[in-house]
Amino acid sequence: MRNLKEGIRKQFYTELGKFIAPEGYVEHREADSSPTDYTFKKNVKPGVVWSLHSHLGHSKPPYAVYTIMACRYEAATERLRTFLEKHQITLISNAPVGFGNSVERYTQQKHSVLVSSENIQEAAQQTADRFKEAESKYLLPRIDQAVAVDEYLTKRPHHWPTGDLFNCCVTILSYGLLTNDRALVQKGIERTFEILNKPGYSQRNRDFFEAIRKAIEHEFI
């Protein structure tokens, strides 16, 4: 059964790669990724990368195709990295700036695509079509980081690109650093603690946020 799944997996992702290649996506293998996970990336514009991450679920066919889409602001990630290094903040060693979500959350069809040996090409086409639909609804409107920054500053967490306070903090902070906007940097940390200090809100990463606040006070105030 394992050999069957492996065979279907290889054929399926080969076909999927063909369908999304015309859009500029190429397969990318992360050094620490599982051999059963597949990633395709696209350089959308300087400093911005979109990606599709996928794997097959279920132990027996038909296998469910689970797909995540993501945006990474590479220029902002690099600017944040230099800031963290300058202030010797090591609580989180890798702090990517971006967001991601399930493809099915942004498509009309909410159930997973199912793939077996009988429908590999069809399933790959369905997956590609759904990804393109979700891409236009979720990734494209936020191709400019300023849009995501505004959402984190003005919308409630359940309307954020992703409902994670860490992403909120680093997205605003990195954009302020990238654009040399001190006021925005300050707004970012204020917004972070506005949410963090709400009764009952998770205190995950609080030490990191505290370190960021001290670094901002040291550098800008």
Report d(CA 103, CA 146) in Å as an integer.
Answer: 23
Per-residue model confidence (pLDDT) at position 88 = 94
- Looking at residues 153-166, what average pLDDT do you find? 93
Per-residue model confidence (pLDDT) at position 133 = 97
The answer to whether residues 104 and 131 touch, using CB atoms and an 8 Å cutoff, is no
Per-residue model confidence (pLDDT) at position 1 = 63
Give the count of beta carbons closer than 10 Å to the beta carbon of residue 207.
12
Residue 73 has pLDDT above 80, yes or no: yes
- Looking at residues 153-175, what average pLDDT do you find? 95
Buried b (16+ CB within 10 A) or exposed e, 96-108: bbbbbbebbebbe
Per-residue model confidence (pLDDT) at position 181 = 96
Per-residue model confidence (pLDDT) at position 176 = 97
Per-residue model confidence (pLDDT) at position 221 = 65
**pLDDT by residue (tens digit) across 111-153?**
999 999 999 999 999 999 999 999 999 999 999 999 999 999 9
Per-residue model confidence (pLDDT) at position 34 = 79
- Looking at residues 50-63, what average pLDDT do you find? 94
The answer to whether residues 18 and 127 touch, using CB atoms and an 8 Å cutoff, is no
State both tokens at 59.
Answer: 């132990």
For the range 214-217, what are the long-range contacts, defined as Cβ-Cβ under 8 Å and sequence gap of 24 or more? 214/87, 215/83, 215/86, 215/87, 215/89, 216/173, 216/185, 216/186, 216/189
Cis peptide before 161 (omega within 30 of 0): no
Report d(CA 150, CA 83) in Å as an integer.
Answer: 22
